[in-house]
């Protein structure tokens, strides 16, 4: 019994691998943000946390046996002679949605990556300011300074 | 009697008059100009109120809606007999108190007089607003306005004592209104869908007896200005205010607003029928009786004159509540009439207390032996005022006590009759000795200036006027008696 | 022309932010002027759109770049978004104009940067309110957050640390929201709010949608400082400059509440949120804890801005609790409170700004004697305080009216008790401040006069009010509180009523 249970769990984890991975990454990031003392490590944790979500989004667009969502044009002399519209028409008919992975999550995540980078930048700028004010980026030392100062 | 309804902006104007006077008061160049603005506002207000009197005496009603806030509820005014009674008392006494204020404040060279007169004006606006409210929302609005406007008046001296008294004041009054009256109002609105004061109340048929009892008690303790125990401690504490403030506000306006509000809610929202049917009236009478007796007993032990007067007021207010709780015609007439009679009597007493302080600096009764020889006019007025409060002829207070006694007999309640008579006796016990000591004991000369010195004229004239009024009201209790009778008939279902 | 207003209202501030930043190098006065002009223009747009929506009764839809939804991003201005847009633009414009002196004092050589951030923040809020796309909401949410972090971080010595804490929690919140949107996308295949609203009712049993709802809501709760994830708010708001708090405090939490209402009511539909799910009771309980905790914590503060911050936390509890009561009265109360609380908070923080300008200090005791020195400012402050307590005819009374009525109708006595308790605590809080301002003599009066309180008639007590350009906008804000109060019924009947789907009773 226990073997088959283990097998089914293993199969489940394998099938939903992307979910498992993103959850693990998210927990790692959260752990770092909450538990770590060093501000830079917290910021890194935040970055990992955001990356986990990005990974999640990208992974849900995947399909078995599908290819990257870039249209391939069949360039031929006749097509060139008939003009650009015909190329477009040919290209349109050739698209079968099931063959391409979903591009929308990728697009959304481009935005999210930018947001993540901006957040990282602001966080690091603030960390620099904190360092300039307190001389340290360890949170417990800062708290000590605040309590006594 | 057909109810003629007139739509006129007069009630709203009566409220606004004193508010409009405020910028004029603030910007006055001299003291006399400033005081004349107060007088102008007071006279116009009284005139407006008086102009609506004939209509109301004929059974008519004046209505005016300022704005509709909710679909069926807004800020609206409705002048009926009961409201007219209270408004007449308040507006006439404002004129007299203003005269007194001038004498008192100038004699003692008090600070911040402009602020004083401004907030006085706001307080009177709010009082008239409560008197003329057509629904519970409007009344609550003006009730709160009064609480806030009287705070700077009570804490006028801005010293440590004023600060702690001010806190007590707010604690009881705001605590009561926000903590009890507001939820009660909203629960009532939830059950009945309206907050208009209607002749027979709005709760009938919508609430169970238990809910009605709870709501009634929440209103009774929520409107803490009526001083029902245990929500009474603010009143003695508020005696740190200058005496004209104590006089008008605590003998007439603030506490009477409390009593008026409670009576209004009992008659217009809960409804006399409900009070009788669910025996809530009896509960109210018991609570009121408790306050009457205990307050009278405490009054006897007070040495400070103003504090003794304060506890006396607490007892007298409960007479009004008792009157309504009796749910009989005479009882209600007596209770409502007492608003007027007690006002004139009590204000005389406070004026005297202030006059004594003005002339001699004395606040305690034990130091007032022989003072009658120094200030015969003042102490005679004090004597008349105390007769009125005790309820003896030939003063107006006798008439309202008479109706109250009749009311207890109508209700067939001997215990309440005993309560009334006992408290009258106690009133005599704590008032008459003051008068006796003042006139018939030898003066302790070291306490007073050698020559006879009455207080300033501006102080003496008002107290003479109000004491004469108390006597006149005994012989001619109109129009107050008629208004009270009319109101009682309406509420009881005529 | 009016067709393009939904786009203009966000595009103009975005472009203006760019110009503001650039113009800072050319002329030091230009950034402020461009910012005010842009924000005022947005305010006019918002008012026009509100008028149009109210008169025609139909929501305005704008397809960005012409792409129709659900493929493209659609901006929808219905009754709810229209009124919130007016609030956002009015508050930001008024605050900017009122606090010019504080800006000059604190951001002397950074006008371009500061004004650009200010306009960017407002543009983000406008977009968040107007958008009809769930992911677009996340983008704008992050724009608002980042500008907010920058604005707050420019504050006092302790500000960067407070901002970092805010940043961490804010990022967690926003990322949770993003995660929720992701799950919604998995379940439904669309990001358009209107389309989601049609698909979700057909899939109520789905565990994916349930998870999406919970995690979206959690993220939003973090961003609006509900208990127990409120820790970032008091530090962040009290360390920021008065201008920044004047902008951020009235708006961030309220617009986040708006988003919560939008998500729970428009996207997930009331049938799902209140009918199918059984968490309303738990969330109202959480709101009650927030209210009580916020009120009690405010009592313990001596710093005026921290006290106001805790009051904000309690007010958030009002709105969330009122909304999750699930009845029309409660939801109306919550939406009305968004408007009223934004106005009240603006008035309070403008007053705090004037106090700090005048006395240089932020603690309670710095308010000594201000009633005599600055009567008009204090009059406005008293009005704002009374509105928080809930005294008629200020607006705070009327939103409390709806919230308490909603609680009574839902039979939730605990919520009603919490509201009353909070009103009483607020009364204590504000009267404590009024006492200090009223009873204690002004800080630089001669000490020999202090025994008699204000008996000294001297130059020390001559009135010296705040400068007019700070005072007038502040008084406008205070008087608006009464106007809003008297018009509460009108607002509810003409605007809010239509914002709530007809199924809710």
pLDDT value of position C341: 95
Asked if pLDDT for residue C316 goes beyond 90, the answer is: yes
Q: How many residues does chain C have?
A: 505
Q: How many CA atoms lie within 13 A of B140 on its CB side?
A: 31
pLDDT tens column, B1-51: 456 777 888 888 888 888 888 888 777 777 788 888 888 888 888 888 888
pLDDT value of position C296: 94
Q: Which residue of B has its CA nearest to C383?
A: B148
Which helix or strand (DSSP H or E) is residue C62 part of? strand C60-63
Instruction: Name the most confidently modeled range: B57-66, B117-126, B398-407, C413-422.
Output: C413-422
Residue-averaged pLDDT of chain A: 82
CATH code of A50's domain: 1.10.287.3510
> Are C454 and B167 in contact (CB < 8 Å)?
no
Question: From the CB coordinates, do chains A and B have 3 or more pairs under 8 Å?
Answer: no
Helix (H, G, I), strand (E, B) or coil at C192: strand
Nearest neighbour of C171 by CB, restricted to A119, A134, A142: A119
Are B385 and B352 in contact by the 8 Å Cβ rule? The answer is yes
C411 contact B CB<8A: no
Q: Which residue of B has its CA nearest to C390?
A: B178
pLDDT value of position B101: 83
> Are C167 and A123 in contact (CB < 8 Å)?
yes
Are B245 and B71 in contact by the 8 Å Cβ rule? The answer is no
pLDDT value of position C453: 38
Asked if pLDDT for residue A34 goes beyond 70, the answer is: yes
Query: Residue B278 is part of which domain span?
Result: 5-492
> Are C455 and B111 in contact (CB < 8 Å)?
yes
Chain B residues closer than 8 Å to C505 by CB: none
> Are C398 and B148 in contact (CB < 8 Å)?
no
> Are C486 and B140 in contact (CB < 8 Å)?
no
- Of the candidates B248, B223, B219, the residue with the CA atom closest to the CA atom of residue B234: B223
Q: What is the DSSP string of B101-164?
A: HHHHHHHTT-S-HHHHHHHHHHHHHHHHHHHTBSBHHHHHHHHHHHHHHHHHHHTTT-SHHHHH
ipTM computed for the complex:
0.89
Tally the domains of chain A.
1
- Count chain B–chain C contacts defined by CB atoms under 8 A: 73
Chain B residues closer than 8 Å to C445 by CB: none
C427 contact B CB<8A: yes
pLDDT value of position A81: 54
Chain C residues closer than 8 Å to A111 by CB: 135, 139
Q: Which residue of A has its CA nearest to C180?
A: A53
Q: What is the DSSP string of A48-104?
A: HHHHHHHHHHHHHT--TT-B-S-------HHHHHH-HHHHHHHHHHH--GGGB--HH
Contacts of residue C220, defined as CB under 8 A and 6 or more positions apart, other chains included, come to C173, C177, C256, C259, C260, C263
pLDDT-based confidence at C381, cuts 50/70/90?
Answer: very high
> Are B167 and C431 in contact (CB < 8 Å)?
yes
H helices then E strands: how many in chain B?
22, 3
pTM for the model stands at: 0.90
pLDDT tens column, C238-267: 888 888 999 999 999 999 999 999 999 888
* Owner of token pair 């472009």: C15
C167 contact A CB<8A: yes
d(CA B251, CA B352): 13
Percent share of chain B, pLDDT over 70: 96
pLDDT value of position B449: 52
Q: Ramachandran region of residue C452, left (φ > 0), alpha (ψ -120 to 50) or beta?
A: alpha
pLDDT value of position C366: 76
Nearest neighbour of B141 by CB, restricted to C393, C408, C438: C393
DSSP state of C467: P
Task: Report the gap between the CA of C204 and the closest CA in chain A (Å).
Answer: 22
B175 contact C CB<8A: yes
Chain B residues closer than 8 Å to C420 by CB: 178-179, 182-183
pLDDT-based confidence at C108, cuts 50/70/90?
Answer: confident
Asked if pLDDT for residue A88 goes beyond 60, the answer is: no
pLDDT value of position C249: 92
pLDDT tens column, B190-200: 888 888 888 77
In a domain, A72, yes or no: no
Are B385 and B316 in contact by the 8 Å Cβ rule? The answer is no
pLDDT value of position C44: 94
Q: Which of B186, B191, B215 to mutate to test the interface with C (most CBs of C within 10 A)?
A: B186
B182 contact C CB<8A: yes
Contacts of residue C282, defined as CB under 8 A and 6 or more positions apart, other chains included, come to none
Q: How many CA atoms lie within 13 A of C455 on its CB side?
A: 13
Query: Residue A25 is part of which domain span?
Result: 2-63+101-148
Are B157 and C453 in contact by the 8 Å Cβ rule? The answer is yes
C17 contact B CB<8A: no
pLDDT tens column, C327-341: 889 999 999 999 999
pLDDT tens column, B241-274: 888 888 877 777 889 999 999 999 988 888 888 7
Q: Which residue of C has its CA nearest to A113?
A: C139
C149 contact A CB<8A: yes
- Domain residue spans in chain C? 279-444+459-505
B152 contact C CB<8A: yes
pLDDT value of position A74: 54
> Are C486 and B69 in contact (CB < 8 Å)?
yes
Task: Report the gap between the CA of C104 and the closest CA in chain A (Å).
Answer: 22
pLDDT-based confidence at B444, cuts 50/70/90?
Answer: low
Nearest neighbour of C182 by CB, restricted to A42, A49, A56: A56
Which helix or strand (DSSP H or E) is residue C492 part of? none
Going from the C-alpha of B169 to that of each of A49, B227, B241, B285, C430, the distances in angstroms are 55, 11, 11, 25, 15
Question: From the CB coordinates, do chains A and C have 3 or more pairs under 8 Å?
Answer: yes
pLDDT value of position A90: 54
Q: How many CA atoms lie within 13 A of C454 on its CB side?
A: 25
pLDDT value of position C455: 39
pLDDT value of position C445: 40
Contacts of residue B162, defined as CB under 8 A and 6 or more positions apart, other chains included, come to B154, B155, B156, B240, B241, C439
Task: Report the gap between the CA of B123 and the closest CA in chain C (Å).
Answer: 16
> Are C427 and B170 in contact (CB < 8 Å)?
yes
pLDDT value of position A83: 55
In a domain, A14, yes or no: yes
Tally the domains of chain B.
1
Q: Which of B25, B74, B110, B111 to mutate to test the interface with C (most CBs of C within 10 A)?
A: B111
* Owner of token pair 């909450």: A34
pLDDT value of position C504: 76
Instruction: Name the most confidently modeled range: A120-134, B242-256, B373-387, C481-495.
Output: A120-134
- Phi and psi at C74, nearest 5°, equal -115, 135
- Of the candidates C456, C372, C433, the residue with the CA atom closest to the CA atom of residue B115: C372
C269 contact B CB<8A: no
Strands B61-70 and C60-63 turn out to be unpaired
- In this predicted model, which residue has the larger pLDDT, C503 or A105? A105
d(CA C417, CA C434): 26
Helix (H, G, I), strand (E, B) or coil at C363: strand
3-state secondary structure C23-42: HHHHCCCHHHHHHHHHHHHH
């Amino acid at each position: 019994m226990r073997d088959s249970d283990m097998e089914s769990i293993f199969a489940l984890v394998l099938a939903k691998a992307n979910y498992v991975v993103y959850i693990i990454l998210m927990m790692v990031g959260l752990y770092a943000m909450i538990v770590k003392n060093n501000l830079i490590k917290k910021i890194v944790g935040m970055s990992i946390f955001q990356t986990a979500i990005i990974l999640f989004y990208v992974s849900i667009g995947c399909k078995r046996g599908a290819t990257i969502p870039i249209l391939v044009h069949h360039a031929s002399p006749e097509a060139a002679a008939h003009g650009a519209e015909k190329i477009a028409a040919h290209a349109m008919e050739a698209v079968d949605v099931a063959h391409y992975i979903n591009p929308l999550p990728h697009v959304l995540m481009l935005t999210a990556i930018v947001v993540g980078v901006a957040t990282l930048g602001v966080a690091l700028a603030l960390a620099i300011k904190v360092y300039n004010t307190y001389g340290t980026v360890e949170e417990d030392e800062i708290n000590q300074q605040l309590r006594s100062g | 009697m057909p109810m003629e309804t007139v739509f006129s902006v007069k009630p709203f104007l009566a409220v606004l008059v004193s508010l409009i006077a405020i910028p004029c008061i603030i910007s006055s160049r001299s003291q006399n100009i400033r005081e004349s603005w107060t007088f102008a506002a007071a006279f116009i207000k009284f005139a407006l109120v008086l102009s609506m009197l004939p209509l109301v005496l004929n059974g008519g009603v004046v209505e005016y809606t300022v704005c509709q806030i909710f679909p069926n509820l807004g800020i609206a005014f409705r002048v009926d007999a009961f409201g007219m009674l209270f408004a007449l008392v308040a507006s006439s006494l404002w004129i007299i108190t203003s005269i007194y204020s001038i004498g008192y404040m100038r004699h003692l060279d008090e600070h911040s007089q402009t602020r004083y007169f401004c907030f006085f004006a706001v307080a009177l606006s709010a009082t008239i607003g409560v008197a003329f409210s057509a629904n519970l929302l409007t009344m609550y609005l003006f009730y709160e306005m009064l609480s806030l406007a009287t705070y700077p008046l009570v804490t006028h001296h801005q010293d440590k004592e004023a600060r702690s008294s001010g806190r007590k004041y707010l604690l009881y009054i705001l605590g009561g209104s926000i903590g009890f009256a507001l939820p009660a109002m909203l629960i009532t609105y939830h059950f009945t869908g309206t907050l208009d004061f209607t002749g027979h109340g709005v709760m009938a048929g919508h609430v169970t007896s238990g809910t009605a009892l709870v709501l009634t008690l929440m209103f009774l303790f929520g409107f803490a200005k009526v001083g029902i125990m245990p929500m009474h401690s603010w009143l003695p504490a508020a005696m740190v205010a200058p005496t004209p403030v104590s006089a008008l506000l605590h003998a007439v306006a603030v506490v009477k607003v409390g009593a008026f509000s409670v009576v209004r809610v009992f008659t217009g929202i809960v409804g006399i029928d409900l009070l009788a049917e669910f025996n809530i009236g009896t509960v109210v009478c018991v609570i009121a009786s408790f306050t009457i007796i205990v307050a009278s007993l405490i009054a006897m032990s007070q040495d400070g004159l103003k504090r003794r007067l304060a506890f006396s007021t607490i007892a007298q207010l409960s007479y009004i509540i008792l009157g309504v709780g009796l749910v009989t015609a005479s009882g209600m007439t007596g209770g409502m009439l007492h608003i007027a009679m007690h006002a004139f009597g009590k204000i005389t007493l406070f004026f005297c207390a202030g006059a004594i302080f003005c002339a001699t600096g004395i606040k305690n009764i034990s130091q007032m032996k022989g003072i009658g020889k120094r200030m015969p006019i003042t102490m005679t007025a004090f004597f008349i005022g105390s007769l009125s409060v005790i309820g003896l002829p030939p003063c107006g207070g006798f008439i309202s006590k008479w109706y109250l006694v009749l009311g207890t007999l109508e209700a067939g309640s001997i215990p309440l009759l005993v309560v009334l008579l006992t408290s009258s006796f106690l009133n005599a016990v704590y008032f008459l000795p003051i008068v006796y000591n003042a006139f018939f004991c030898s003066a302790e000369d070291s306490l007073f200036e050698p020559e006879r010195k009455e207080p300033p004229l501006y102080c003496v004239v008002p107290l003479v006027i109000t004491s004469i009024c108390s006597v006149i009201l005994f012989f001619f209790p109109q129009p107050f008696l008629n208004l009270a009778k009319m109101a009682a008939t309406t509420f009881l279902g005529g | 022309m009016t067709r393009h207003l939904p786009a203009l209202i966000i595009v103009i501030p975005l472009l203006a932010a760019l110009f503001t930043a650039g113009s800072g190098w050319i002329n030091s006065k230009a950034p402020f002027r461009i910012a005010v002009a842009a924000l005022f223009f947005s305010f006019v747009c918002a008012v026009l759109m509100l008028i149009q929506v109210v008169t025609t009764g139909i929501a305005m839809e704008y397809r960005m770049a012409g792409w129709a939804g659900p493929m493209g991003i659609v901006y929808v201005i219905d009754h709810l978004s229209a009124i919130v847009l007016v609030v956002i633009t009015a508050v930001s414009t008024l605050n900017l104009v009122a606090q010019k002196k504080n800006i000059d004092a604190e951001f002397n050589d950074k006008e371009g940067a500061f004004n650009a951030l200010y306009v960017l923040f407002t543009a983000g809020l406008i977009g968040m309110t107007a958008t009809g796309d769930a992911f677009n909401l996340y983008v704008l949410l992050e724009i608002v957050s980042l500008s907010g972090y920058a604005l707050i971080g420019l504050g006092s010595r302790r500000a960067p640390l407070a901002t970092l804490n805010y940043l961490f929690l804010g990022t967690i919140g926003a990322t949770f929201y993003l995660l929720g949107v992701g799950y919604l996308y998995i379940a439904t295949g669309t990001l358009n709010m209107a389309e989601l609203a049609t698909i979700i009712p057909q899939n109520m049993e789905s565990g994916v949608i349930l998870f999406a709802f919970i995690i979206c809501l959690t993220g939003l709760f973090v961003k609006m400082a509900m208990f127990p994830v409120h820790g970032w708010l008091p530090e962040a708001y009290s360390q920021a400059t008065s201008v920044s708090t004047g902008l951020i405090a009235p708006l961030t939490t309220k617009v986040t509440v708006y988003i919560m209402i939008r998500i729970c009511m428009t996207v997930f539909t009331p049938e799902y949120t209140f009918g199918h799910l059984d968490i309303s009771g738990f969330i109202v309980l959480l709101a009650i804890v927030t209210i009580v905790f916020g009120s009690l914590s405010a009592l313990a503060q001596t710093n005026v801005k921290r006290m106001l911050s805790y009051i904000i936390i309690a007010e958030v509890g009002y709105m969330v609790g009122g909304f999750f009561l699930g009845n029309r009265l409660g939801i109306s109360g919550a939406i009305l409170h968004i408007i009223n609380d934004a106005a009240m908070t603006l008035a309070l923080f403008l007053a705090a700004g004037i106090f700090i300008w005048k006395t240089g200090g932020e603690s309670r005791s710095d308010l000594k004697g201000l009633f005599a020195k600055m009567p008009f400012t204090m009059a406005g402050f008293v009005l704002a305080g009374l509105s928080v307590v809930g005294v008629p005819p200020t607006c705070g009374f009327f939103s409390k009216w709806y919230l308490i009525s909603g609680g009574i109708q839902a039979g939730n006595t605990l919520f009603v008790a919490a509201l009353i308790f909070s009103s009483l605590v607020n009364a204590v809080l504000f009267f404590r401040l009024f006492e200090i301002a009223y009873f204690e003599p002004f800080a630089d009066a001669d000490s020999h006069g202090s025994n008699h309180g204000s008996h000294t008639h001297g130059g020390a007590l001559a009135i010296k009010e705040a400068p007019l350009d700070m005072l007038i906008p502040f008084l406008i804000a205070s008087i608006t509180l009464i106007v809003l109060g008297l018009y509460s019924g009108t607002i509810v009947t003409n605007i809010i009523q239509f914002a709530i789907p007809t199924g809710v009773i």
